[in-house]
Structure 1
Amino acid sequence: MRILTLILLAVLCTLQYDLWRGKNGLAEYNEAQSYVTRQMDDNEQLVTRNALLYREIEDLNKGLAAVEELARNDLGMIKPGETFYRLLLADKPSP
């Protein structure tokens, strides 16, 4: 009876080792779970960024206001008959 108990205890210890430290054990499961959570957060941020880009593309395709705004901000373009004033702040206050 004692030998049977020791054999069963050895089998139990082996199974416990495989569960905790073996291949596809709980350590790998927890690591994979944290990776999936991180990846889902990254995907959510990318979906938000893509939605903003799609809205900007749609606005550029449909309306001229966005094209005019980009031309004014990025290229410094002005309309004919329009006066453009550029104000620069001084780095150091004059005495």
Structure 2
Amino acid sequence: MRTLTLILLALLGTLQYHLWWGKNGLAEYNEAQANVTRQMTDNEQLVARNALLYREIEDLNKGLAAVEELARNDLGMIKPGETFYRLLLAEEPSSP
């Protein structure tokens, strides 16, 4: 009976070792779970960014206001008969 108990304890110890530190053990499971969580967070951010890009594309395709805004901001375009004023902030004199 004593031999059987020792064999069962050795088997239990081996199984516990494989469960905690072996291949496909709990350490790898926790690491994979963290990777899945991180990837889901990244995917949510990318979905939000893509939705913003799709809204901008739709706005550019359907309305001229967005095209006009982009032309004014990025290219500095002004309409005929329109006066453009640029306000510059006064530079503060440097103290000696």
Name 2:69's counterpart in structure 1: 69
2: distance between equivalents of 1:66 and 1:92?
36
- Structure 2 residue 30 is the aligned partner of structure 1 residue 40: no
2: distance between equivalents of 1:22 and 1:65?
62
Q: CA deviation at 1:27?
A: 0.2
1: distance between equivalents of 2:63 and 2:45?
27
User: Normalized against structure 2, the TM-score is what?
Assistant: 0.95
Give the letter for the 2:58 counterpart. E
2: distance between equivalents of 1:44 and 1:7?
51
- Structure 2 residue 7 is the aligned partner of structure 1 residue 7: yes
The percentage of aligned residue pairs carrying the same residue is 88
- Structure 2 residue 41 is the aligned partner of structure 1 residue 31: no
Q: CA deviation digits over 1:32-55, x for unaligned, max 9?
A: 000000000000000000000000
Aligned pair count reads: 93
2: distance between equivalents of 1:7 and 1:88?
86
Instruction: Provide the alpha-carbon RMSD of the alignment.
Output: 0.7
List gaps (5 residues or longer) in structure 2: none
1: distance between equivalents of 2:91 and 2:3?
88
- Structure 2 residue 69 is the aligned partner of structure 1 residue 57: no
Q: CA deviation at 1:91?
A: 2.5
User: Superposed, which structure 2 residues align to 1:75-90 within 5 Å?
Assistant: 75-90=75-90
